[in-house]
Structure 1
C-alpha cells in the first residue's frame, strides 16, 4: 500500500511540475528569430536636434519637417523607387491627433509593445492587408517643445508590422 502512495505521489508531482512549466511557457511572448535578427541589425540614428534616438535599417533615412511649434520626422527606405514594405514617423509637439483609417472596411485592433522602456498601446488598422499603426506617448524628457510624441507607421504585411514594433522599441533618450 505504501508503494502505491509513493508512486501516486511521484506521478502527481510530475504532472504538477509539467503543468507549471506549460503555464510559464504560455505566459512568455513567443520570440521570432527573424524579427530578433532584424532588430540586431538596426543602426541607432539621432532624431534631428532632439535628445531622441531610434534604430533603423541601414538603408533607411530620416527626413525632418518643421512647423511653427512642432516637428515631424519620417523614416523610409533611401531608394524611393524600391518597394516600401514599411515606413514610419513621429510628430513631436503639443497637439497630436490620431489618423483615421483609410476607409470604413478597415479593421481596428490594439497591440502593446515597449517604447521608452514602458509598455505602450498601439492602434492598428488592417485595411485589406495593408497595415497602419499609431500611438500617442507622453514624452517624459522635460523638453517643453516635444511634450507629446505621435508615433505612426505603415506596413504591407503582419511581419513588417512586427518589424515596425521592433524599430519603435529602440526609441530612447540620451
Structure 2
C-alpha cells in the first residue's frame, strides 16, 4: 500500500473515532437502574443507585460532594465523591501494600485515565480533570471512590460515567 493511502485510512479512522458521541458508554442492566440526581448548588447531575444519597460539604473556596448508601450499615457497596474547586490534590494510597495502576473509564463523556489502587482486593480510584463548568469556578473536579470488589468498582465507574453538566 502506498504511503498516501495509509495516511488517508489513518485520517478516516481518526475522524470516525473522534466524532461526537463516540465516547458514550453502552447501556447495561446496572446503568438502567440509576436515578438521575441534581447535585445540590451546582449545574451538574449524576446517576445513583436506589438507596444512595448525596451530601455536600462546603469549604472556604471549594465544595466536596459525597455519595454512599443511605443505610450506613451497608458495607457491601461502593462509596465515592468529588471535590469541586481550583486546587485539587490526589490522595495517597491507603497503605504500602496497594498496587497502583491506570484504568480507563468515562467522565464527562471522555474516556479518562483513572488512578486505581488495588489494596489486597479493596479498590480505591481517583481522577483529577477539568470540570467543564464553563466558568472560572470550579475549574477542576477530583473524583474519588472506594469499594471491596471488582464488580463494585465497575458499578462505581458506571456512576461516574453519568456525571454531567446540566443547564
TM-score scaled by length of structure 2: 0.81
The alignment covers a number of residue pairs equal to 142
What RMSD over aligned residues (CA atoms) do the two structures have, in Å? Answer: 1.6
CA distance in 2, matches of 1:59, 1:85: 11
Unaligned runs of 5+ in 1: 1-30
Q: Which residue of 2 aligns with 1:58?
A: 50
Structure 1 position 140, deviation (Å): 2.0
Q: Which residue of 1 aligns with 2:22?
A: none
CA distance in 2, matches of 1:85, 1:138: 27
CA displacement 1:58-79 (0-9 Å, x = unmatched): 1100010000100000000001
Bigger mean CA offset, 141-150 vs 37-46: 141-150
CA distance in 1, matches of 2:78, 2:60: 28
1:123 and 2:115 correspond: yes
CA distance in 2, matches of 1:46, 1:66: 17
TM-score scaled by length of structure 1: 0.78
Q: Which residue of 1 aligns with 2:151?
A: 159
Q: Which runs of 4+ in 1 moved over 6 A?
A: none
CA displacement 1:95-149 (0-9 Å, x = unmatched): 1000010111100111111211111110000011100000001012213221100
2:132–2:165: 8 Å Cα contact kept in structure 1? no
Unaligned runs of 5+ in 2: 1-24
Q: Which has the larger radius of gyration?
A: 1
